[in-house]
């Protein structure tokens, strides 16, 4: 069984320090000893300990225990959750009760029984672990309630392009491989990241996201790694970073391409060593995260230009998922439009709208530079403003410069697109649209009916 736990022993008696170290070295990972309690502050600044064994009396001839309680308060100021076990040569029950009442965990009398000593420290170590687990759980619950309260719908689509994404998600989710998600703005990169987490073995743990593009570089380190009280002017209390909160679960770094080279180096070190150090702290905290990153930039081009570390790119894209833009999943547009239509019908207490053929054709003929996010916004706007029981092409105002370039030479398909473009440009005025197309108003109206655009 592997040894865990770090123990600090503080006693002015060299023989006691040696005896405790020999006794506990077979049970715990690290035993550190100091004779002079004045060194406590500097020792606690560079490391954290699971149990601190503290002598109650350091001055010759003094047995009040006040020195031990004084140093206990120094320890608790540095680490409010510290587990302190007192040892003393004087079996004073009142002193033991006072020490525990003021913040101690347990009390051992010299000379001690070895077996009882070991049991006491093991129980203290278990208590420390339980307290840390509870504290960590509270932090994660707080993060969940603050940051992940919104409902994230499942990814919608049946096209071949999006089906490939689903297939990759199913393959990679059960592993702990780091994933890089590439896609244009609005394609649903965060939805894919959450789907990976939901289908992973870490699904019962927290999903923590951080949008790099929304974070000034000066705040990146404190946000990602956390800080200790006093690390800088506004650091009024210890605060864990996103990596520490995400330990055991999944960390999603959105817009990773916006990370500065200095920040990239720090992130790489974390991924290599699997440990972090809060700002202002000299000790390390082990972390266990599954990293998922996303960007709309070409990281390969950034590597070639010296803007992104190649070694970091290798670390974050064990698996790469490319999300297709909406213009390449044409068959999903109506499915998504109906999904959002139903969502906003309920939200705004609107009647059930029928999606007319002209609306469908118009939505399909648009290039969707903003992808699914833009479609969602357009449908929401149409539902809010419509006063009819159906949505036609006139309810969706799309930029005329963003119509798709037709991939077909079919005359009727291209004619439909031109008709829609002319009607949109002239804001639904058939007379002006017909004039621009070089046909009569009657001809335009007949073609409009012929292609089922009404």
Which residue do the tokens 């970073």 mark? Answer: 241
Model pLDDT for residues 107-129, shown as the tens digit of each residue: 888 888 899 999 999 988 988 88
Q: DSSP readout, 87-141?
A: EESS--HHHHHHHHHTT--EEEESS--HHHHHHHHHHHHHHHHHHHHHHHHHHHH
Structure tokens at 323: 């999300």
Extended strands (E) in 212-306? 226-227, 239-240, 250-254, 275-276, 285-286, 290-295
CA distance 284 to 306: 30
Structure tokens at 385: 């403003």
Angle at 251 between CA 245 and CA 255, to 5 degrees: 130
CA distance 23 to 17: 10
- For the segment 342-349, the average pLDDT, to the nearest whole number, is 93
Mean predicted lDDT score pLDDT of the chain = 85
Identify how many contiguous H helices and E strands the chain contains and give both numbers.
18, 16
In this prediction, residue 409 carries a pLDDT of 55
Model pLDDT for residues 15-49, shown as the tens digit of each residue: 999 999 999 998 999 999 999 999 998 898 888 89
Model pLDDT for residues 145-197, shown as the tens digit of each residue: 454 434 445 688 999 999 999 999 999 999 999 999 999 999 999 999 999 99
Model pLDDT for residues 293-325, shown as the tens digit of each residue: 999 999 999 999 999 999 999 999 999 999 999
CB 355 within 8 A of CB 337: yes
What 3-state DSSP class applies to 445?
helix
Q: What is the helix (H) or strand (E) element at residue 155, kind and residue range?
A: none
For the chain, domains (ranges, CATH) are: 6-132 (3.40.50.2300), 160-324 (3.40.50.300), 328-450 (1.10.8.60)
In this prediction, residue 143 carries a pLDDT of 57
Task: Tell me whether the omega of the peptide bond preceding residue 111 falls within 30 degrees of 0, making it cis.
Answer: yes
Structure tokens at 278: 């809060």
CA distance 310 to 42: 38
Helices 357-364 and 411-425: crossing angle, nearest 10°? 100
In this prediction, residue 196 carries a pLDDT of 95
Q: Smallest Cα–Cα separation from 222: which of 276, 260, 272, 282?
A: 276
In this prediction, residue 148 carries a pLDDT of 43
Task: Phi first, then psi: give them for residue 359, nearest 5 degrees.
Answer: -70, -45
Split at pLDDT 50, 70, 90, the class of 422 is confident
Q: Smallest Cα–Cα separation from 241: which of 255, 257, 253, 259?
A: 253
Q: What percent of the chain has pLDDT over 90?
A: 48
What 3-state DSSP class applies to 385?
helix
Number of other CB atoms surrounding residue 114 within 10 Å: 10
CA distance 274 to 289: 8
Q: Can you say how many angstroms the Cα of residue 252 is from the centroid of all Cα atoms in its chain?
A: 4
Structure tokens at 434: 């017909």
CA neighbours closer than 13 Å in the CB half-sphere of residue 183: 30
Task: Phi first, then psi: give them for residue 422, nearest 5 degrees.
Answer: -65, -40
């Amino acid at each position: 069984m592997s040894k865990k736990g770090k123990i600090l022993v503080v006693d002015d008696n060299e023989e006691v320090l040696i005896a405790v170290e020999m006794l506990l070295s077979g049970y715990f990972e690290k035993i550190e000893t100091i004779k002079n309690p004045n060194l406590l502050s500097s020792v606690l600044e560079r490391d954290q300990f699971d149990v601190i064994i503290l002598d109650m009396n350091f001055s010759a001839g003094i047995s009040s225990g006040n020195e031990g309680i004084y140093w206990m308060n120094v320890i608790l100021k540095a680490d409010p959750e510290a587990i302190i076990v007192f040892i003393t040569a004087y079996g004073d029950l009142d002193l033991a009760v006072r020490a525990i009442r003021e913040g101690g965990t347990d009390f051992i009398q010299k000379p001690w029984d070895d077996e009882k000593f070991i049991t006491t420290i093991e129980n203290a170590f278990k208590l420390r672990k339980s307290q840390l687990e509870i504290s960590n759980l509270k932090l994660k619950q707080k993060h969940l309630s603050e940051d992940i309260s919104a409902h994230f719908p499942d990814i919608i689509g049946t096209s071949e392009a999006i089906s490939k994404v689903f297939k990759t998600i199913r393959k990679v989710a059960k592993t702990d491989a780091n994933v890089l998600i590439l896609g244009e703005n609005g394609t649903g990169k965060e939805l894919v990241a959450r789907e990976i987490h939901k289908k992973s073995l870490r699904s019962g743990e927290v999903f923590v996201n951080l949008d790099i593009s929304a974070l000034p570089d000066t705040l990146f380190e404190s946000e990602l790694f956390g800080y200790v009280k006093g690390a800088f002017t506004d650091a009024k209390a210890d605060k864990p970073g996103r990596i520490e909160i995400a330990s055991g679960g999944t960390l999603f770094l959105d817009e990773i391409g916006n990370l500065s080279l200095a920040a990239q180096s720090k992130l790489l070190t974390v991924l290599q060593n699997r440990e972090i150090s809060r700002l202002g702290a000299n000790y390390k905290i082990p972390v266990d995260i599954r990293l998922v990153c996303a960007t709309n930039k070409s990281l390969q081009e950034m590597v070639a230009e010296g803007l992104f570390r190649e070694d970091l790119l290798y670390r974050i894209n064990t698996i790469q998922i490319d999300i297709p833009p909406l213009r390449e999943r044409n068959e999903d547009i109506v499915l998504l439009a109906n999904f959002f239509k139903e969502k906003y019908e309920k939200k705004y207490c609107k009647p059930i709208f029928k999606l007319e053929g002209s609306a469908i054709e118009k939505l399909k003929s648009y290039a969707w530079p903003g992808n699914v996010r833009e479609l969602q916004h357009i449908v929401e706007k149409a539902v809010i403003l419509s006063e009819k029981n159906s949505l036609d092409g006139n309810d969706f105002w799309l930029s005329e410069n963003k119509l798709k370039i037709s991939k077909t030479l079919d005359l009727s398909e291209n004619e439909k697109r031109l008709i829609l473009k002319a009607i949109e440009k002239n804001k639904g005025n058939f007379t002006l649209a017909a004039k621009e197309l070089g046909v009569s108003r009657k001809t335009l109206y007949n073609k409009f009916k012929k292609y089922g655009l009404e």
